Amino acid sequence: MALEPRPPVITIMGHVDHGKTTLLDYIRKSKVAAAEAGGITQHIGAYSIDFQGKPLTFIDTPGHAAFNKMRERGAQVTDLIVLVVAANDGVKPQTVESIRHIKNSGVPYVVAINKIDLPDVDPNLAKSGLAEHEVIVTDYGGDIDAIEISAVKGQNVDKLLETLVVIAELLELKADPEAPVEAVVIESSKTADRGSVATVIVKNGTLKPRMDIEAGGVPGRVRLLTDEQGNQLEEVKPGFPAEIVSFEKVPSVGSLVHDRNADYPELEVAEETQEETNPWADLNFNQLIEEEGKPKLNLIIKADVEGTLEAILQNLDDESTELLASGVGEVTERDLELAESAGALLIAFQVKVPGRIKRLAKERGVRIKKYDIIYKLIEDLQKRMLKLLEPTIDEVVTGEAEILEIFEMRGERIAGIRVKTGEISKSDKLHLKRGDEIVANPVIKTMMHGKQETDSIKAKNEGGLTFRNKKLDFQKGDVLVAYTVEDTVEEM
């Protein structure tokens, strides 16, 4: 075994929109931040740079709350962490969450107080906020370095990098490039032209083309190794990232990559495949409906990469949703068939929906909803889940009327009403409420004001109604609630 120095793996953490990706953008002189939908990093990327002759590897972890598991995993594979806090915003929820992950990992870290180029900002807002969470920077008598930077203008970014280099040298990071290869899957996806692809960081050994490997039980042969810019690589040594085109199917994020032809005498691998770790795999919607008697939202979810898919699944409420299937890659006809048979909503996150699939979905009455921003997807799902628990959550009441009397004429029951608020129209959607309970959703057949048929009755006026359902059980004292639905979810 011949240990050699390796570059540090540095993770950037912090709250959404505090400038993590902009900082990395400046460091590696690219334009990733501008290309991200909504300016938010949607999945983890790994990048290697050279600073003053020293190689540094960076992981850019997403800042949105949905990615807490991905951030936690980032802390597990990293040597150093940069906690980014905006000078104009201070400590925010994802900042606190990142602090928790950092402390749990025991990894050394520095603080980058960003956006100091903005007018009238006070970095002490961030420093005092950090102190409340036991992150005491050197200015406050602690031992955590805090560098005030502007990621947009590059101010003090070199100072930040110099600090990272010094800490990395003190850590004396080493690995054996001749050992059997070990790498960690940072991201994984599936594309139509290249198949299953994984972004990895090598921890030990050297990764080479034509190597027979596996990750979490998923086998593969390295057909192509590239860096983040798509340049082909002949080998990848410890501490460096690479993209592997190899696997028979998409490996799980966080799984370990090993050489299938090498011996690991001291290594006990206890990994599970993606299917085995899927907490939804054994659920059966029809059984759950019968056992619990509660309505559930049927879902099929397709995402661009494994890490993002995992983050979405973690935000599902198992009491109100049933995940019928999930995976990476574009929406297929098989997905449509399952959605049609189960009446499921099909979610497509940053994946292609071919024109042929769109036409088939329309013909079969399958709803497909496309998203590019993770938090919008989750907000919409939460609204849908909440509506199952509270059916009137997205309704706006336009009028209420009380049933004062009940008459019978020519075999029909007539509700004599008085409109209390707003207006009741013949075409309105209605709830029939008895106390706080909705007992029916009637449809008006005829509406009379005096002896004249009318289309609406306003507040403080009386009228008579008949309903299309002749067996409708309405009683004196019941209330009719007219409403409209505000639905922000657009269906394809």
Domains of the chain by residue range: 4-174, 182-274, 278-389, 395-485
The greatest distance separating any two alpha carbons of the chain, rounded to the nearest whole angstrom, comes to: 100
Q: Which residue, 159, 5, 169, 134, is CA-closest to 82?
A: 159
CB atoms within 10 A of CB 41: 24
Alpha carbon 20 to its chain centroid, in Å, reads: 18
DSSP secondary structure letter of residue 37: G
Angle between helices 306-314 and 68-77 (to 10 degrees): 130
Identical fold between 4-174 and 278-389:
yes
- Which tokens is 115 given? 């956006």
The helix (run of H) or strand (run of E) holding residue 252 is none
- Phi, psi (degrees; rounded to nearest 5) at 489: -90, 120
CATH 3.40.1190.20 fits 4-174, yes or no: no
Amino acid at 371: Y
- Which tokens is 319 given? 């009491």
The helix/strand/coil state of 446 is: strand
CATH of domain 278-389: 3.40.50.10050
DSSP string, 45-102: EEEEEEETTEEEEEEE---SGGGHHHHHHHHHH-SEEEEEEETTT-S-HHHHHHHHHH
Strand 109-114 to strand 80-86: parallel, antiparallel, or no bridges (unpaired)? parallel
Q: For residue 280, with 0-12 CB atoms within 10 Å meaning exposed, 13-18 middle and 19 or more buried, which class applies?
A: middle
- Which tokens is 391 given? 């059916």
Q: What pTM, to 2 d.p., does this model score?
A: 0.60
SS3 content of the chain, % helix, strand, coil (to 5): 25, 35, 40
CATH of domain 182-274: 2.40.30.10
Full pLDDT tens readout for the chain, 492 residues:
679 999 999 999 888 788 888 898 888 875 455 555 555 455 557 888 889 889 999 987 665 545 555 555 565 688 999 999 999 999 988 888 888 888 877 889 999 999 999 998 999 999 999 999 999 999 999 999 999 999 999 999 999 999 999 999 999 999 999 999 999 888 888 877 888 888 999 999 999 999 999 988 889 999 999 988 788 999 999 999 999 998 888 888 778 899 998 887 554 433 333 333 332 233 333 333 333 445 678 899 999 888 888 888 888 877 778 888 899 988 988 888 888 877 788 999 998 888 888 888 887 778 898 998 887 888 787 777 665 555 554 578 899 999 999 998 888 899 999 999 999 999 898 999 998 888 888 999 999 998 899 999 999 999 999 998 888 889 999 999 998 865 433 443
Q: Which residue, 252, 246, 492, 205, is CA-closest to 357?
A: 492
CATH 2.40.30.10 fits 395-485, yes or no: yes
